Amino acid sequence: MQPTDYSIVLRYLDEPDHAVHKAEFENWLKKSDANKAFYEELRMLWEQSAAAATYEGVDATAATERFAALLHQHYPATVAALPRNKRWWRYSAAAATIAAAALAWWLLRPTQVRYNTFTTTSRIDSLLLSDGSKVILNKHSSLRYPAAFGSRSRQVFLDSGTAFFEVQASAVHPFAVTAGDTKVSVLGTAFNLASGQEEIKLYVLSGEVAFGSNTSTASPIRLKAGSGASFHKKTGQLGMDADVDYNQLAWRTRELYFRDTPMEEVCAVLSEHYQVRVILENDARKTQKLNANFSHKTIDEILETLNALYNYRFEKRGDTIYIR
């Protein structure tokens, strides 16, 4: 295959909705079966390489040394010494010294907190906070955070939109996110917080968090990994979600899950995630259930799947899609 073949497929994969690139790609695809097979290979690599991100930062050597230490701890008689070299221990001892020095400096420095604002418009962006915690901010969202955290706590504000937090663990400095009238306090965890017009939704991916409201005297709810809670702005009600909506994370993972989901709800989810209006015109199909996973798919690919598998027909008018 020639470099131009790569370019044609790449431009299409990069921006499947780009009219010129799409037409160029479709013409090229029709030319031969070899082109089709080539496209399938590149599409597979394209999709799977996004999933390969799971292997980013996995340090098998360090993990093996931790395991060797564990084995030695359990069976000091049989496993006399660490079988691997002790590099990892040296590094971790050095890291601990640096961490202790940094902590001392951090605790002793004067506390004058100035806030920066991080706002996204048309694309998702991420931010590394001064403590090493990571924030991934969805489109059209805004976060206020101190340039450096003070000595007492780590406080940030989600002023609008949705954010995913991966909080660096710290036993002494709780990390707190304020969104509207609610506050999420954690020690070290990963969670998703969406501050919408009507409600503020929280989903905890790992660790444990406390979710409370400033306007209510009730004590905060403790949420474990895999659970979610919502705060309704109008009523001031704060409660656990009975059914966790896995698609809350879809803006970041680009994976959508439907489990016995009524088509009406499917359309609502698609509307939200692809920022188009998807309207189900056929009342009889509103309660029909869908079971499917879509990973890194464009809205067109999803519609084509619905058409091929369940015979749904769709029509685009302006930025609205009608499904029948």
Partner 1 sequence: MSGYLHTEEALRALKARDPETFAEVYRQYFPLLYATAFKYLGDKVQAEEVIQDVFLRIWEKDFQLEHPAALKSYLFRAVINRVMNHFQREKMQRHHHETLQNLQEESYLCNFIEEQELRENIHKAIEALPAQCKRIFKLSRFEGLRNQQIAEQLNLSVKTVENQMTIALRQLRNSLLNDDEYKLTPTARLKILLFLMGGI
Instruction: Catalog residues that contact partner 1 under the rule CB under 8 A.
Output: 3, 6-7, 10-11, 14-15, 40-42, 44-56, 58, 60-61, 63-64, 66-68, 70-71, 74-75, 78-79, 83-84, 123-124, 126, 190, 205-207, 224-227, 254, 259, 292-294, 305, 309
| Cβ-contact 156, 133 below 8 angstroms | no
CB of 140 to partner 1, least distance (A): 16
CA nearest to 184, candidates 204, 161, 199: 204
CB of 85 to partner 1, least distance (A): 11
| Cβ-contact 205, 190 below 8 angstroms | yes
Tokens 């999420």 locate to 184
CB of 311 to partner 1, least distance (A): 15
CA nearest to 159, candidates 213, 195, 112, 134: 195
Q: Quick one: 183 or 254, whose CB is closer to partner 1?
A: 254
Measured distance CA(22)–CA(11) in Å, rounded: 8
Q: Quick one: 79 or 276, whose CB is closer to partner 1?
A: 79
CB of 41 to partner 1, least distance (A): 6
Measured distance CA(298)–CA(47) in Å, rounded: 12
CB of 49 to partner 1, least distance (A): 4
The tally of CA atoms less than 13 A away on the side-chain side of residue 25 is: 22
User: Strand 154-166 relative to strand 175-179: parallel, antiparallel, unpaired?
Assistant: parallel
Instruction: Find all residues with CB under 8 Å of 199, minimum gap 6, and list them.
Output: 230, 231, 232, 233
Length, in residues, of the chain: 324
CB of 157 to partner 1, least distance (A): 25
Report which DSSP code applies to 56: T
CB of 174 to partner 1, least distance (A): 19
Q: Report, in this order, helix, strand and coil percent for the chain, each rounded to 5.
A: 35, 30, 30
Q: Quick one: 231 or 294, whose CB is closer to partner 1?
A: 294
| Cβ-contact 103, 127 below 8 angstroms | no
Planar angle of CA 310, 315, 317, nearest 5 degrees: 155
Q: Quick one: 73 or 219, whose CB is closer to partner 1?
A: 73
Q: Quick one: 52 or 147, whose CB is closer to partner 1?
A: 52
Q: Quick one: 88 or 157, whose CB is closer to partner 1?
A: 88
Q: Quick one: 127 or 148, whose CB is closer to partner 1?
A: 127
